[in-house]
Structure 1
Amino acid sequence: MTELSGIAGRQPVVDLRSDTVTKPTPAMRAAILEAEVGDDVYGEDPTVAALEAKVADLFGFEAAAALFVPTGVMANHIALRTLLRPGSELIADADAHILAHEDAGLAWHGGIQTRTTLTSDGLLSPDDVSRLIRPHSPHTLGTTAVELENTHNRGGGSVYSIEHLRAIRQIADAHRISVHIDGARIWNAHVATGTPLREYGAVADTISVCLSKGLGAPVGSVALLAPDRRAEAVLMRHRLGGGWRQAGILAAAGIYALDHHIARLAEDHANARLLATSLQSAGLSARTPQTNIVLVDVPDAPAVAARAAEQNVRVSAFGPALLRLVTHLDVTEKDCLLAAEVLARVA
């Protein structure tokens, strides 16, 4: 491979494994320090309540529809469990995060059956959904809901257009099935397309959103669901070990992230494009990103990742022959150029 030039010397670690590796900014730490708190298990933390109301309003849900939880896995699990009972069937892309990276939680805890299909970019088409829906009958487990991941992690940050989502919503309505959006990185989709968050809310029965990925909060996700299912969701969160006390110190970080870190995601997208084009110029098979995730095809991904780590560049081996590189608020243009140089050298 041709090496990239222009950057010399040993550099600090450039961590492109995920947008979850960010550290709270000084201003976010100040917001944490100043947070008003209470015992959230008793429903008495005002900052948690403010975060939940804020996220609900952003997506056009009622304030009572939002529930702050520790993790994205829990947010997905709780939201989907409010739509599906044990023995229900869920349609999803075969590489969806809920299937590839959540340790079979839906099956283990929820008894939920999935019906899947492989897609080229992780995005189910309206035809895919129509084909996969099964009617209920004495001999057939009918479909209850469809799950859509926006942006799609294993699809390289691919984005559902709002027109695409509306078409699937129409199909779901015609068959009386529900729609869940795994919106862990929906903020990236919003910035990349300009689609208002309320338009995403209008096509979904439930949504999960993450505050600790591109937005840079240290921990936390929010599940959006029907207001009359919130009490059930709170109980489920407690059963899963997700009841927390003075959680306002975490909610304050989430509020700060929502107020200050959404628009700047455009910088991450620009850095991802710079990273991809730099790798392509060096002769590597990097896929052009839509958002902040760059996938790179290499013969031996674990070996390349290990060699890059020795050069202070951390990337994820996303499969035997696939690397994932994720830009975020702790990554600069200079970091991307350095990472491209190192990867060109060690691939």
Structure 2
Amino acid sequence: MKSYHLDPQRGLAGLTVRDHDEPVPGRGQVVVKVRASSLGSRDLAVLAGAYPLPIRPGVVPGCEGVGEVVAVGEGVGRVRAGDRVAATVFPRWLDGPFVWDNAAQLGTMVDGMLTEYAVLGEDGVVPVPEHLSFEEAATLPLAAVTAWNALTTGSALRPGATVLTLGSGAVSLFVLQLAKLSGAQVIMTTSSAAKAERLKALGADDVINYRDDPAWWQEVRARTHGAGVDRVVDATGPLEQSLKCVAADGEVAFVGYSLSGAEGARPIDPATLFGAGAAVYRIATGSRAHFVALNRAVEAHRLRPVLDRVFPFEHVADAFRYVESGGGFGKVVISHD
């Protein structure tokens, strides 16, 4: 079998392929023949050594992957050989709030999914929705679980509620799809007219071009008749603008911020934070319980993710370069077949 390995802070020069014997599961473990995985901006940060979590030298990168169970170890009762499963990004985070004890993450602290066979704990996998292909299912573990967590943490999302999600990246696309299932009105920001049209075709009720309107929070206020939105899913920043356009007693799901510029990480004026009157939640992907609940919704509504491009396993470096180039729309997937 072959696996990719990573020496952090060296970029693509630190990405190598190694040969290994096929693994044997230990007690409580399963071996998964990986059929598809996916990449995103998180993986670029890991590649550059700029990710917030520790990165073990030589780790197998990639936190999103799905496949078929081919062997089970002693004591495994949750899954069996032949099951189609997805790996959870945080294998130890089963439920409840995120704590440091659960921070071991695939592709940074422990070996990830850019491999032909992965050894995972039985608690670290969940069933794949039956209607999805492996390539489609590979888009779920990070972006979709993050979107689900962002929409379900705090108060319940009521029909008719207004949701603002920033950008047209993978998390925001899943926020759009999932929020519409709840009957919400969804406003999105994006950088081009072409992307705005695609977002509207997917169901966005309103789209604001942040290049045309750098102070886009004012547009959000205007388009909600001054009330602001009930929930903001902020995956890019600047957080200050999210706080200025959220409704009183609304909620901001703070997913992250752009690492490419200073604006996204700019300090917040305490007066802005106080004046917002909103709850701010830090969203760290999600737990196994979040993933299981997401999959129930995906299966019940036959939701299909938005795929951008699929690269073969042998061309992972090209996939990284494509993600880095920007301008895509949807998830970038690696086919391991």
Identify whether the pair has TM-score above 0.5, normalized to the shorter chain: no
Higher helix share: 1
Give the TM-score taking structure 1 as reference length: 0.36
By percentage of residues, which structure has more strand? 2
